[in-house]
Structure 1
Amino acid sequence: MKDLKAYFFPRHYPALRDILILVILFGGAFFLFLGNAGLIEPDEGRYAEIPREMLERGDFVTPMLNYVAYFEKPPLHYWLNALSFKLFGLNEFAARFAGALAGLLTVLLVYHTGRKLFGRREGLFSAFILGTSTGFIAQSRINLTDMTLTLCLSAALCCFIIAADDQERHKGRYYYALYLFSALAVLAKGLVGLLFPAGIIVIYLATTRRWHLLKEMRLPGGSALFLAVVAPWFVLVSARNPAFARFFFIHEHLERFLTTVHDRYQPFWFFIPILLLTMFPWSLYGVRAIARAWGERRSRNGERLLFLLVWAAFIFLFFSASHSKLIPYILPVFPPLALLTGKMFSDLMDGEEQQQAFGPEKALLGALLAVMAVLAIIYPHVRELAPVLTGSGLVRPGGSLVTKPPLLSPLGGVVVACLTLSMGAAVWLAGRKRSLLILFAGLCLGSYFLETMGLQLFLEGIEFKKSSKELALLGRQATSHGGCLVSFGYEQSLPFYAGKRVVVVGGRGELEFGSRQGDQTAWFVEETDFLRLWQGEQPVAALIKRADYERIAPRLVPAPSVLGTKGKKMLICNRSAAGGPLPSGTQSAFVKRRSADGEGVAGDAR
């Protein structure tokens, strides 16, 4: 306890030393085992293949996926991944490195901002809260554009509120950084990179009546910097691709927000439970932090608290109103909530207020942790308990919970339960000792190990269901001496692992736009065309779902050889390579995966 106080409580601890400690501590959480799992479908395969093709073609202006134009996102994340591939090679670690680094940098950014706005301890608490929010870490370790956006957008908004301080000596630097990071946010995810900073700042200026800040915001020079960073790519890609502007600005912005064209509709309240779950274990305290900040909006730090509230509310309500919702969209809300929660914890550490602090939250959190521990033990055995669960009405008969293999092994369930109970013990001990510092440190430590160990235990099951790495490598080997690699429905990671273009049979998904640019008829075919291709002279290897295989197998002549299966997917071939035996390792060496589930085998792609 004395050591914790000696570190957390001093107000004038060197900032560089704090940053070094944060990098060492959270470097493990963000980067440990980062490359262990195969790329998860669909996003990771997509955002790895696009930069791989950029490097192969030497074209960093026109993003292409499976060698057709792909304009759903701007190129910043692709550029970062391409640089990572150059540094670390074409592998899973490199594919996830940019996102993990963006997550770690966001933690450091929150520390710096909290320290500048409120003080050293507030910044430190805020950084620890963000870095131990389980959903933030989990999504940082996935190859997504949203974490790159979160870093750029958060940096822009943090620079503004720091520059808005009348005592800030480096106003010019922070204001110009605002424009720079806003431009990078546009290059990361599109017009939200401009809309969010502009909307949040205008609402803040209107509610605080600080319109005079417009005079010091370096609008002419900042606007020129913004355009200098943003304009070149948009001009070049539009010049080379006349269809870009309509697709990107109308289809990917207006139609995505106003319609269900992307088939991602969720109810307005969708992000409420998502935020509570992904910010665990701090979400319960975040609710009180929001209420506390609102009550203190007229205090000495009230305008800064109000800015953080506007930041979180604007983005939350914007995406809640959108007709296209995905879980990662909520990531830019985490930094302001972490700052609000970190300041609240710091304020309550002083004086006698901490003796009565968080009574309801501690009781509810303790109960939730106990329930989570029990569920972690039961979940790996849920299929064995199916008759009891369905008979009692707790689970719908035939539901995925009782029909699909669990993501967690029995041993993994025990480990997760122990980690969860350790957090519950910290909550109990904090209540017994009436110490907020024990509560804070215990939740940080428990959540840290839940992130570094618990998430990895779930990842094996997720990889088995969502990664086609082994089958893709088998396909690459089977067609290495010539031949055609086919995907029934587009499998995003297949061309990445195969290092070549694939023929897509049936649904084109996100490749619909690109498939209509130029003559792509040889690469996007229907089943009748595939059957003719299968009967041709060249070897054909096809990645296909088991249900599609059972439907089409009677029409496949010659009869297919099954090179490997994984979950519900299979890799089949029409003949041995060059008329001889199948390539070594594709037929004879099979390894059982999750054999207890009976979900299939995967070939050993050596």
Structure 2
Amino acid sequence: MKLAAIADSLWGNKARVSYLLLAAVILLFTCLGGREIWTQEHRWADIVSGMFYRNDFLHPYLGNSDYYDKPLLSYWLIALFAKLTSALTTWTLRLPSALAGLLTVASIYFLGKKIQDRHLGLLSGWLLLTTYYFVFWSRVSSADMLNLAGTVFAVAWYFNKREHARFWDYAVFFLVIALTSLCKGLVGAIVPLIAVLVDIILQKSWKQHLRLTLVWAVIPALLVYLSPFIASSYFGGDSFAQNGLYLVYRENILRYFQPFDHQGPIYTYFLYLPVYLLPWTIFFIPALLTLKSRWKNMTTDSRWVAWTLFVLFLFFTSSGSRRSYYVLPMVPFAVLFTADWILSGEPVLARKRLWSAGLIVIFFAALFAAVDVAPAWYYAKFGVNRFAVALQKEASRIKPWHVWNVVILDAESKMNFYLHLPPGAVKYHIKGTERINVPTSDQLLAMWPLLKNRDANTIYVSRKLYAPVLQHILAGYRTLEVAYPSLPFINKQDTDSPVAYIPAG
């Protein structure tokens, strides 16, 4: 098929938004639960499983510790899907993020269509859908994609209603902001408000929007936002020490002006915005470099995209707390900016428009293979999930699984999820700075005194780091390790991989 025909089917006259949304469903939902839990996902797994274990959905605990660092909505969404499917799995953990990714693709389409035409909306949707880190975070259990979906949807809603906004239009806008802020924090309100403020300044529409109706429309959103925090304070949780609203202040305002962690250098987002736009950085950088020459011929809405991206970049860079993935809320606006450049009327871009059509197809296929299929195939045969299944099977040969006690000796936190252990079962975790790389038997026995008084009903699970010493302490125990494929790039000496020690019976 010729590139011109592909472009026509993706964003031209033959294009359909249904094609874009179907492609998003395929890429974001295929084998969604196939990959093993990745780093921070264990927090959502532990917190939600703890909510079910305690039958308390107002007070988040990480293990046995209070953990109100994030508001409650992202946990509630996972709990809802777990309840509907009767299981807390990697699929239910990630389903809210995948749905949020789908909503983001739809929202950027409607936003692009409103500020210019359906061609911009469709191309922006395809570019976003084939951006690696967008797909990655859409398939990770966290609050980040929920935050992104809420902000883009709120901005798209504003642009759709800005000409003749009524009370309910404003109310929905602020309700979306409130719900978004209940997922990750106040950044869910700041990003759309910055985007709207930039538009109001460019359109000089202060008088149109600064009305009493606007003030009244904020009230329902405030009530919705404050309700979970009020409920957490006044219902149950007598032993829960953290205050949710104080944590909002600490994690958002205090961290912005007086950061206590995640203090990346000032140039952090100069590096990570191009990285987070891969593979479309190849077009974003030329679009940025030609901005000055194009400025006079750009429409007000095209200038709005550029100004919004600039102000957001300035806002995040000005924060004292910087991390690579904090750049995620800027990605949709950078994608709109890039798509607007690709579709601009410059004759020199005619060939690049055709290149982008071919690249969309190539990148979609590559992402599907690398992000969806390959990890699902690998973790169906290897990894911690298969290790947990093998451990339960091996232990059940000696006595029923429910009879065993399982003690976690500084193994990775995801072991609690895969072995379906209650929150109190995870014991003797060690901070990375305190970990002993080459421990002695005396040091381990001092750290883990329960090893001195072992019983025949206890299985111990630890890291491979401690295996040489534990094999001596637990002499006579049967050991079980993670299975690895015979591939040259797989690190079979990973010191963090789990090892189980089963009494011989």
Q: What TM-score results when the alignment is normalised by the length of structure 2?
A: 0.81
Mapped to 2, the partners of 1:181 and 1:102 lie a distance apart of 13
Kindly state the Cα deviation for residue 534 of structure 1 after the two structures are TM-superposed: 5.5
Q: Which position in structure 2 is the counterpart of 1:113?
A: 111
Kindly state the Cα deviation for residue 329 of structure 1 after the two structures are TM-superposed: 1.9
Change (3 A) 1:557 1:279: closer
Q: 2:74 aligns with which of 72, 77, 90?
A: 77
1:263-342 matches, within 5 Å, as: 264-290=262-288, 301-302=299-300, 304-342=301-339
Q: Which secondary structure state, in structure 2, belongs to the residue aligned with residue 481 of structure 1? A: helix
Q: 1:140 aligns with which of 118, 127, 138?
A: 138
Once the two structures are superposed, residues 429-449 of structure 1 have per-residue CA deviations (whole angstroms, 9 ceiling, x without a partner) of xxxxx6344212101101101
Equivalent residue letter for 1:244: N
Q: Which position in structure 2 is the counterpart of 1:564?
A: 481
Q: Which position in structure 2 is the counterpart of 1:443?
A: 359
Mapped to 2, the partners of 1:140 and 1:217 lie a distance apart of 38
Kindly state the Cα deviation for residue 5 of structure 1 after the two structures are TM-superposed: 6.1
Q: Which secondary structure state, in structure 2, belongs to the residue aligned with residue 188 of structure 1? A: coil
- Note if contact 2:467-2:499 (Cα within 8 Å) is conserved in structure 1: no
Q: 2:416 aligns with which of 483, 495, 502?
A: 495
Q: Which runs of 5+ in 2 are unaligned?
A: 433-443, 484-493
1:62-461 matches, within 5 Å, as: 62-88=59-85, 89-164=87-162, 166=163, 169=164, 172-206=167-201, 209-215=204-210, 218-239=213-234, 240=237, 241-245=240-244, 248-254=247-253, 256-258=255-257, 261-262=260-261, 264-290=262-288, 301-302=299-300, 304-348=301-345, 353-354=346-347, 356-357=348-349, 435-456=351-372, 459=375
Q: 1:504 aligns with which of 405, 424, 427?
A: 427
Kindly state the Cα deviation for residue 456 of structure 1 after the two structures are TM-superposed: 4.6
Mapped to 2, the partners of 1:249 and 1:101 lie a distance apart of 25
Kindly state the Cα deviation for residue 571 of structure 1 after the two structures are TM-superposed: 2.4
Change (3 A) 1:209 1:467: farther
- Note if contact 1:534-1:540 (Cα within 8 Å) is conserved in structure 2: no
Change (3 A) 1:20 1:268: same
- Note if contact 1:77-1:145 (Cα within 8 Å) is conserved in structure 2: yes
Q: Which position in structure 1 is the counterpart of 2:465?
A: 547
Change (3 A) 1:468 1:180: same
Mapped to 2, the partners of 1:287 and 1:463 lie a distance apart of 37
Equivalent residue letter for 1:151: A
Q: What TM-score results when the alignment is normalised by the length of structure 1?
A: 0.69
Q: Which position in structure 1 is the counterpart of 2:450?
A: 532
Once the two structures are superposed, residues 517-548 of structure 1 have per-residue CA deviations (whole angstroms, 9 ceiling, x without a partner) of xxxxxxxxx96363325623353333322223
Q: Which runs of 5+ in 1 are unaligned?
A: 358-433, 510-525, 581-606
Q: 1:55 aligns with which of 52, 55, 64?
A: 52
Q: Which position in structure 2 is the counterpart of 1:591?
A: none
Mapped to 1, the partners of 2:292 and 2:206 lie a distance apart of 21
- Note if contact 1:484-1:503 (Cα within 8 Å) is conserved in structure 2: no
Mapped to 1, the partners of 2:452 and 2:431 lie a distance apart of 20
Q: 1:45 aligns with which of 36, 42, 46?
A: 42
Once the two structures are superposed, residues 84-119 of structure 1 have per-residue CA deviations (whole angstroms, 9 ceiling, x without a partner) of 223443322222221112112101111111111211
Mapped to 2, the partners of 1:438 and 1:201 lie a distance apart of 33
Q: Which position in structure 1 is the counterpart of 2:440?
A: none
Equivalent residue letter for 1:243: Q
Superposition RMSD in Å: 3.3
Once the two structures are superposed, residues 577-596 of structure 1 have per-residue CA deviations (whole angstroms, 9 ceiling, x without a partner) of xxx3xxxxxxxxxxxxxxxx
Mapped to 2, the partners of 1:215 and 1:298 lie a distance apart of 30
Mapped to 2, the partners of 1:491 and 1:111 lie a distance apart of 40
Mapped to 1, the partners of 2:445 and 2:166 lie a distance apart of 62
Change (3 A) 1:246 1:154: closer
- Note if contact 1:204-1:306 (Cα within 8 Å) is conserved in structure 2: no
Kindly state the Cα deviation for residue 125 of structure 1 after the two structures are TM-superposed: 1.0
Equivalent residue letter for 2:251: E
Mapped to 2, the partners of 1:94 and 1:346 lie a distance apart of 39
- Note if contact 1:43-1:492 (Cα within 8 Å) is conserved in structure 2: no
- Note if contact 2:127-2:335 (Cα within 8 Å) is conserved in structure 1: yes
- Note if contact 1:294-1:306 (Cα within 8 Å) is conserved in structure 2: no
Mapped to 2, the partners of 1:315 and 1:475 lie a distance apart of 49
Kindly state the Cα deviation for residue 123 of structure 1 after the two structures are TM-superposed: 0.8
Q: Which secondary structure state, in structure 1, belongs to the residue aligned with residue 417 of structure 2? A: helix
Once the two structures are superposed, residues 159-216 of structure 1 have per-residue CA deviations (whole angstroms, 9 ceiling, x without a partner) of 223333x3xx565554333201110111111122233333444455456543224325
Amino-acid identity (%): 22
Change (3 A) 1:274 1:20: same
Q: Which secondary structure state, in structure 2, belongs to the residue aligned with residue 573 of structure 1? A: strand
- Note if contact 1:129-1:444 (Cα within 8 Å) is conserved in structure 2: yes
Change (3 A) 1:480 1:30: same
Kindly state the Cα deviation for residue 138 of structure 1 after the two structures are TM-superposed: 1.8
